[in-house]
Amino acid sequence: MNIGILGSGVVGKTLAGKLSSLGHGVMIGTRDPVESRARTAPDSFGGPPLSSFLAEHPAVALGSFADAAGHGEIVLNATSGLGSLEALKLAGADKLAGKVLVDISNPLDFSRGFPPRLTVSNDDSLGEQIQRAFPEARVVKTLNTVNAYLMVAPGMLAGGDHTMFVCGDDADAKRIVESLLREQFGWQDVIDLGGIAMARGTEMYLPLWARLYGALQNPMFTIKVVR
Protein backbone atom coordinates (compact mmCIF):
# COMPACT_ATOMS: atom_id res chain seq x y z
CA MET A 1 0.00 0.00 0.00
CA ASN A 2 1.17 3.54 -0.69
CA ILE A 3 1.13 5.70 2.43
CA GLY A 4 1.76 9.43 2.67
CA ILE A 5 3.05 10.87 5.93
CA LEU A 6 2.78 14.60 6.55
CA GLY A 7 5.56 15.68 8.90
CA SER A 8 9.22 14.76 9.25
CA GLY A 9 9.64 14.98 13.02
CA VAL A 10 10.17 12.04 15.33
CA VAL A 11 6.57 10.82 14.85
CA GLY A 12 6.71 11.02 11.07
CA LYS A 13 10.10 9.31 10.88
CA THR A 14 9.10 6.57 13.32
CA LEU A 15 5.92 5.80 11.38
CA ALA A 16 7.76 5.94 8.05
CA GLY A 17 10.50 3.59 9.18
CA LYS A 18 8.04 1.02 10.50
CA LEU A 19 5.69 1.09 7.53
CA SER A 20 8.55 0.96 5.02
CA SER A 21 10.03 -2.05 6.83
CA LEU A 22 6.68 -3.80 6.33
CA GLY A 23 6.86 -3.28 2.58
CA HIS A 24 4.61 -0.25 2.15
CA GLY A 25 5.48 2.49 -0.31
CA VAL A 26 6.08 5.45 1.99
CA MET A 27 6.57 9.12 1.18
CA ILE A 28 7.25 11.75 3.83
CA GLY A 29 5.91 15.21 3.04
CA THR A 30 7.38 18.49 4.32
CA ARG A 31 6.79 22.17 3.62
CA ASP A 32 10.18 22.46 1.85
CA PRO A 33 11.76 19.11 0.90
CA VAL A 34 15.03 20.68 -0.26
CA GLU A 35 15.51 22.59 2.99
CA SER A 36 14.43 19.58 5.05
CA ARG A 37 16.97 17.30 3.37
CA ALA A 38 19.73 19.89 3.81
CA ARG A 39 19.41 20.10 7.60
CA THR A 40 22.36 18.69 9.51
CA ALA A 41 21.34 19.46 13.10
CA PRO A 42 19.60 16.82 15.25
CA ASP A 43 15.83 17.04 15.47
CA SER A 44 14.05 18.57 18.46
CA PHE A 45 14.34 15.28 20.39
CA GLY A 46 18.04 14.86 19.67
CA GLY A 47 17.48 12.31 16.94
CA PRO A 48 19.33 12.22 13.61
CA PRO A 49 18.48 14.79 10.94
CA LEU A 50 16.09 13.80 8.18
CA SER A 51 18.94 13.32 5.71
CA SER A 52 20.49 10.65 7.92
CA PHE A 53 17.13 8.93 8.35
CA LEU A 54 16.57 8.87 4.59
CA ALA A 55 20.06 7.47 4.02
CA GLU A 56 19.25 4.64 6.42
CA HIS A 57 15.81 4.09 4.84
CA PRO A 58 16.40 4.42 1.09
CA ALA A 59 12.94 3.09 0.24
CA VAL A 60 11.30 6.09 1.95
CA ALA A 61 10.70 8.95 -0.48
CA LEU A 62 10.62 12.65 0.35
CA GLY A 63 8.36 15.25 -1.24
CA SER A 64 6.16 18.20 -0.49
CA PHE A 65 2.98 17.95 1.56
CA ALA A 66 1.06 17.83 -1.72
CA ASP A 67 3.35 15.12 -3.13
CA ALA A 68 2.88 12.92 -0.06
CA ALA A 69 -0.89 13.44 0.01
CA GLY A 70 -1.11 12.54 -3.66
CA HIS A 71 1.11 9.49 -3.16
CA GLY A 72 -0.81 7.96 -0.29
CA GLU A 73 -3.83 5.73 -0.47
CA ILE A 74 -3.88 6.50 3.26
CA VAL A 75 -2.48 9.79 4.59
CA LEU A 76 -1.11 10.17 8.12
CA ASN A 77 -1.04 13.63 9.67
CA ALA A 78 2.05 13.63 11.89
CA THR A 79 2.57 17.40 11.89
CA SER A 80 2.63 19.63 14.94
CA GLY A 81 -0.91 20.40 16.07
CA LEU A 82 -0.31 24.13 15.75
CA GLY A 83 0.63 23.67 12.11
CA SER A 84 -1.69 20.85 11.08
CA LEU A 85 -4.40 22.85 9.35
CA GLU A 86 -1.87 24.86 7.35
CA ALA A 87 0.05 21.70 6.39
CA LEU A 88 -3.15 20.03 5.23
CA LYS A 89 -4.09 23.11 3.19
CA LEU A 90 -0.71 22.85 1.48
CA ALA A 91 -1.33 19.14 0.92
CA GLY A 92 -4.51 20.08 -0.97
CA ALA A 93 -8.15 19.28 -0.37
CA ASP A 94 -8.34 17.62 -3.78
CA LYS A 95 -5.55 15.20 -2.87
CA LEU A 96 -7.19 14.33 0.45
CA ALA A 97 -10.73 13.91 -0.88
CA GLY A 98 -12.08 10.42 -0.38
CA LYS A 99 -8.96 9.22 1.43
CA VAL A 100 -8.56 7.96 4.96
CA LEU A 101 -6.77 10.75 6.82
CA VAL A 102 -5.30 9.47 10.09
CA ASP A 103 -4.89 12.39 12.47
CA ILE A 104 -2.16 11.76 15.04
CA SER A 105 -1.62 15.40 16.00
CA ASN A 106 -2.41 17.13 19.28
CA PRO A 107 -3.33 20.81 19.80
CA LEU A 108 -0.38 21.58 22.08
CA ASP A 109 0.99 25.06 22.75
CA PHE A 110 4.47 25.09 24.33
CA SER A 111 4.82 28.89 24.25
CA ARG A 112 4.61 29.04 28.06
CA GLY A 113 6.90 26.07 28.57
CA PHE A 114 6.18 22.59 29.88
CA PRO A 115 3.60 21.22 30.45
CA PRO A 116 1.94 22.57 27.31
CA ARG A 117 -1.51 24.11 27.09
CA LEU A 118 -4.28 22.93 24.77
CA THR A 119 -5.22 25.37 22.02
CA VAL A 120 -8.69 23.86 21.77
CA SER A 121 -10.74 21.76 24.22
CA ASN A 122 -14.13 21.01 25.73
CA ASP A 123 -16.44 22.19 22.92
CA ASP A 124 -14.18 21.39 19.97
CA SER A 125 -11.06 19.48 19.02
CA LEU A 126 -8.33 19.59 16.43
CA GLY A 127 -9.71 16.40 14.92
CA GLU A 128 -13.08 18.09 14.39
CA GLN A 129 -11.45 21.21 12.98
CA ILE A 130 -9.61 19.08 10.44
CA GLN A 131 -12.78 17.23 9.45
CA ARG A 132 -14.67 20.51 9.02
CA ALA A 133 -11.87 22.03 6.96
CA PHE A 134 -11.64 18.94 4.73
CA PRO A 135 -15.17 17.52 4.61
CA GLU A 136 -14.38 15.07 1.82
CA ALA A 137 -11.51 13.47 3.75
CA ARG A 138 -12.32 10.50 6.00
CA VAL A 139 -10.68 11.64 9.23
CA VAL A 140 -9.85 9.10 11.93
CA LYS A 141 -8.20 10.20 15.16
CA THR A 142 -5.83 7.71 16.76
CA LEU A 143 -2.31 7.15 18.16
CA ASN A 144 -2.25 10.63 19.72
CA THR A 145 -2.22 9.25 23.28
CA VAL A 146 1.22 7.58 23.21
CA ASN A 147 4.89 8.22 22.58
CA ALA A 148 6.02 7.85 18.95
CA TYR A 149 7.93 4.63 19.57
CA LEU A 150 4.96 2.95 21.23
CA MET A 151 2.73 3.89 18.30
CA VAL A 152 4.45 1.31 16.13
CA ALA A 153 5.63 -1.13 18.79
CA PRO A 154 3.26 -1.40 21.76
CA GLY A 155 4.94 -4.72 22.56
CA MET A 156 7.85 -2.70 23.99
CA LEU A 157 5.72 -2.62 27.16
CA ALA A 158 4.15 -5.71 28.71
CA GLY A 159 3.70 -7.58 25.47
CA GLY A 160 1.56 -4.92 23.85
CA ASP A 161 -1.45 -5.54 26.09
CA HIS A 162 -2.57 -1.90 26.02
CA THR A 163 -5.52 0.06 24.68
CA MET A 164 -5.62 2.33 21.64
CA PHE A 165 -8.58 4.50 20.72
CA VAL A 166 -10.08 5.43 17.36
CA CYS A 167 -12.81 7.89 16.53
CA GLY A 168 -14.25 9.26 13.32
CA ASP A 169 -17.48 9.71 11.43
CA ASP A 170 -16.76 7.16 8.68
CA ALA A 171 -17.23 3.57 9.86
CA ASP A 172 -15.34 2.03 6.93
CA ALA A 173 -12.41 4.37 7.48
CA LYS A 174 -12.24 3.34 11.13
CA ARG A 175 -12.20 -0.33 10.14
CA ILE A 176 -9.27 0.33 7.80
CA VAL A 177 -7.38 2.16 10.54
CA GLU A 178 -8.15 -0.50 13.12
CA SER A 179 -6.73 -3.12 10.75
CA LEU A 180 -3.59 -1.00 10.37
CA LEU A 181 -3.26 -0.72 14.14
CA ARG A 182 -3.74 -4.42 14.76
CA GLU A 183 -1.99 -6.03 11.81
CA GLN A 184 0.84 -3.59 11.11
CA PHE A 185 1.61 -2.04 14.49
CA GLY A 186 0.56 -4.82 16.88
CA TRP A 187 -2.16 -3.15 18.95
CA GLN A 188 -4.24 -5.92 20.51
CA ASP A 189 -6.96 -3.85 22.15
CA VAL A 190 -8.60 -1.12 20.05
CA ILE A 191 -11.69 0.74 21.26
CA ASP A 192 -13.94 2.68 18.88
CA LEU A 193 -15.10 5.73 20.83
CA GLY A 194 -17.56 6.91 18.17
CA GLY A 195 -17.62 9.98 15.95
CA ILE A 196 -14.86 12.52 15.43
CA ALA A 197 -16.24 14.67 18.28
CA MET A 198 -14.83 12.02 20.61
CA ALA A 199 -11.38 13.36 19.71
CA ARG A 200 -12.09 15.95 22.41
CA GLY A 201 -11.54 13.22 24.98
CA THR A 202 -8.33 11.77 23.60
CA GLU A 203 -6.84 15.23 23.03
CA MET A 204 -7.79 16.38 26.53
CA TYR A 205 -5.95 13.34 27.93
CA LEU A 206 -2.69 15.02 26.90
CA PRO A 207 -2.46 17.32 29.94
CA LEU A 208 -2.52 14.21 32.14
CA TRP A 209 -0.05 12.46 29.81
CA ALA A 210 2.35 15.40 30.08
CA ARG A 211 2.17 15.42 33.88
CA LEU A 212 2.72 11.68 34.05
CA TYR A 213 5.74 12.15 31.81
CA GLY A 214 7.03 14.80 34.21
CA ALA A 215 6.47 12.58 37.25
CA LEU A 216 7.94 9.44 35.69
CA GLN A 217 10.68 11.18 33.70
CA ASN A 218 9.95 8.60 31.03
CA PRO A 219 7.50 8.77 28.09
CA MET A 220 7.28 4.99 27.68
CA PHE A 221 3.87 4.41 29.23
CA THR A 222 0.34 3.91 27.97
CA ILE A 223 -3.25 3.07 28.91
CA LYS A 224 -4.94 -0.25 29.51
CA VAL A 225 -8.72 -0.25 29.87
CA VAL A 226 -9.60 -3.13 32.19
CA ARG A 227 -13.12 -4.43 31.74
The pTM for the full model equals: 0.95
Residues with Cβ within 8 Å of residue 209, at least 6 apart in sequence: 145
Buried b (16+ CB within 10 A) or exposed e, 152-179: bebeebeebebbbbbbbbbeebbebbbe
CA distance 142 to 187: 12
Tens of each residue's pLDDT in the chain, 227 residues: 999 999 999 999 999 999 999 999 999 999 999 999 998 888 777 778 999 999 999 999 999 999 999 999 999 999 999 999 999 999 999 999 999 999 999 999 999 999 999 999 999 999 999 999 999 999 999 999 999 999 999 999 888 889 999 999 999 999 999 999 999 999 999 999 999 999 999 999 999 999 999 999 999 999 999 99
Return the C-alpha torsion angle 158, 155, 104, 166, nearest 10: -70
Architecture of domain 2-216: 3-Layer(aba) Sandwich (3.40)
Please report, for the chain, the start and end positions of each structural domain, with discontinuous segments joined by +: 2-216
Within a 10 A sphere around the Cβ of 149, how many other Cβ atoms?
A: 16
